[in-house]
Chain A
Amino acid sequence: QVQLVQSGAEVKKSGASVKVSCKASGYGFNGYYMHWVRQAPGQGLEWMGRINCNSGGTNYAQKFQGRFTLTRDTSIDTAYMELSRLTSDDTAVYYCARDHPSSVATFDSWGQGTLVSVSS
């Protein structure tokens, strides 16, 4: 079965960067986009961007342009997100989510989430 396993919780200082991994299994990693969605404490869901796990091509939400980078390593079926110049507003749970095979930008499988806490 499809499984996405994310790296553990992170605590960072303002101004630092964080890198979160998402290890995929149970399907052909190269054949899908991987998206990243975040959720601030008690808040709703916010789409951040996506990566084509085959070509490495990316699309980012304008809000995060310039400090958000998605990469992948096809040799180990793992996607990564890196967010730099962190502020307290970046405190959130970050999720990776796979594209549905029949519906673009429909998230049919999710990682368990990674809490990133940013303190000043």
Chain B
Amino acid sequence: DIQMTQSPSSLSASVGDRVTITCRASQSISTSLNWYQQKPGKAPKLLIYAASTLQSGVPSRFSGSGSGTDFTLTIGSLQPEDFATYYCQQNFNTPRTFGQGTKVEIK
């Protein structure tokens, strides 16, 4: 199975900050990498797919980059509604695997 490792596990940031979350795969996955946002008690929401494609309806302050084993999710200017947990997920092969999550908290 491909292991997905996110860093950091949690971070504290202020509204307006630029935030970067990293995801590393245990083997090369090309650009087969998705990012999701999850708020407490809610289902995850797709933000980015294929490493850098913004899902329809997602604000442009979210962006993704990377290929191979190293990927990044960036929130350009953190908004109050962005405080949540973020997960990466590989869709390169089966079983599909997720990172352990990064919780973005209010500073």
Contacts and interface: CB of A to CB of B under 8 A. Distances in A.
**Chain B associates with chain A:** yes
A73 B34 CA distance: 29
B87 A44 contact: yes
| Size class of the contact patch on chain A | 20 to 34
Given A63-B95, A106-B49, 19 more contacts: A44-B98, A45-B87, A45-B89, A46-B98, A47-B89, A47-B97, A47-B98, A59-B94, A95-B43, A95-B44, A103-B49, A103-B53, A105-B94, A105-B96, A106-B34, A106-B46, A108-B46, A110-B45, A112-B43
A106 B90 CA distance: 9
Contact of B49 (A46, A100, A110): A100
Contacts of B91: 103-106
Nearest to B50: A103
A102 B36 CA distance: 16
Nearest to B33: A106
B99 interface: yes
Nearest to B101: A44
Interface in A14-66: 35, 44-47, 59, 61-63
17 contacts: A44-B100, A45-B87, A61-B95, A63-B95, A95-B44, A100-B46, A103-B34, A103-B49, A103-B50, A103-B53, A103-B91, A105-B91, A106-B34, A106-B46, A106-B49, A107-B34, A110-B43
